[in-house]
Amino acid sequence: MAEEWSSWAPILRVKDAQVSAKFYREAMGFRVDWEHRFADGFPLYMQISRSPLVLHVSEHQGGGTTAAEFFVRVPMWMPSIGRLWIKGSRRLRNLAIRSMGCATFMWLTPTGTG
């Protein structure tokens, strides 16, 4: 019997996690699930999600990558596509309606990740 993985989350390294989280909340409809710092003044690490998509956002210098590409399937009939395009229009790129019945796009966060 094969093992089943329950979930995974890519780690995106950002300059300012609070600024990135605001973008993900306001423009993309994500929520902040939790935040962690080892102590005051240390880099912030957080989990954000928009079900079922989960991302980890990190200010740690050694964690994650500053550039990533994701293929996220979003049904093209979802009203959120239009809202997303309007709210994040300066940061969203390459919106395409695919033959698979979904929309795909690329986004750039305000702190250089995405």
Q: Would residue 112 count as lying in a domain?
A: no
On whether residue 1 sits in a domain, the answer given is no
| Domain annotation covers residue 3 | no
CATH number, domain with residue 82: 3.10.180.10
Does residue 91 belong to any structural domain of this protein?
A: yes
Q: What are phi and psi of 107, to 5 degrees?
A: -130, 155
What pLDDT, on the 0 to 100 scale, is given for residue 45? 95
32 assigned to some structural domain: yes
Considering the domain boundaries, does residue 5 fall inside one?
A: no
Count of CB atoms situated within 10 Å of the CB of 14? 25
pLDDT number for residue 48: 95
Which of 22-36, 58-72, 76-90, 96-110 has the largest mean confidence?
22-36
Q: Is the pLDDT of residue 114 over 50?
A: no
Domain count, the chain: 1
**pLDDT, position 91:** 61
Predicted model pTM: 0.74
- Quote the tokens at residue 57: 């956002």
> Rounded distance, CA 85 to CA 80, Å?
8
